[in-house]
Amino acid sequence: MELIPGIFLSSTATEEWVPDPGVPGTEVHVMVEADGVAAGMTRMLTAGDPFDWTPQQRETILILEGRVRIELDGGEELDLGAGDMASLRPGIATRWFVTVPFKEMWVIAGG
């Protein structure tokens, strides 16, 4: 929600979720898309198949609930749980294995 022009406010307890067309089986809450930055949350409530994701810009995530194992192109893996943060460079191919319920906060910025 835009509180006043250019100032955005939300909560991890929001009920404002919509299906994410880019990642089947997930829902997204976008808090802000302005000035070259997007920030919001993604959640998954039911188990789904692993999915592939290649960020087009720098993506930084904070896991709020659940776990995720992210396989990176090149063979490395990230194993993240609540409280863990990671930052992915643009263009890196990843495959996500999510344990539900899952919720992450993300910020996408840069080129």
Closest CA to 37 of 12, 14, 60, 63: 60
CATH class of domain segment(s) 2-109: mainly beta
- Give CA–CA dist 85/64, Å, rounded: 10
pLDDT reported for residue 111: 56
What is the SS3 string spanning 68-107?
Answer: EEEEECCCCEEEEECCCEEEECCCCCEEEEEEEEEEEEEE
Q: Which two tokens stand for residue 91?
A: 């263009």
Averaged over successive runs of 10 residues, the pLDDT of the chain (111 residues) comes to 92 95 90 95 93 96 98 96 98 97 95 56
pLDDT reported for residue 48: 85
| Structural Rg of the chain based on CA atoms | 14
pLDDT reported for residue 110: 78
